[in-house]
């Protein structure tokens, strides 16, 4: 009995833009997957609380939100 299998590429042609924005712990260099908490600082700024699962170090990052144009 013969079988046919499709070979899929292991490299994606374009990465998700958020993948490159995920931080690493400045103490132990462990990669962070998700922020522990987030909060709006203003209409155009969000802050994220990160805590390293490996060493427990915590830090805050801020992200500027681009304003979306609404067409009627």
- Angle (nearest 5°) at CA 69 between 65 and 70: 125
Type and span of the H or E element at 39: strand 37-42
Residue 20: predicted pLDDT: 58
Report whether 22 contacts 32 (CB < 8 A). yes
When the pLDDT of each residue in the chain is averaged and rounded to a whole number, the result is 76
**If 0-12 CB within 10 Å is exposed, 13-18 middle and 19+ buried, where does residue 40 land?**
exposed
Q: In the chain, what are the domain boundaries?
A: 23-64
pTM of the model: 0.61
- Angle (nearest 5°) at CA 28 between 30 and 14: 30
| pLDDT tens column, 41-55 | 888 889 899 999 999
């Amino acid at each position: 009995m013969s079988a046919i299998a499709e070979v899929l590429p292991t490299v994606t042609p374009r990465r998700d833009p958020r993948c490159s924005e995920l931080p690493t712990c400045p103490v132990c260099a462990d990669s962070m997957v998700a922020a522990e908490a987030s909060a709006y600082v203003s209409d155009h700024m969000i802050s994220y609380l990160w805590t390293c699962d490996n060493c427990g170090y915590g830090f805050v990052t801020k992200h500027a939100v681009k304003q979306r144009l609404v067409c009627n």
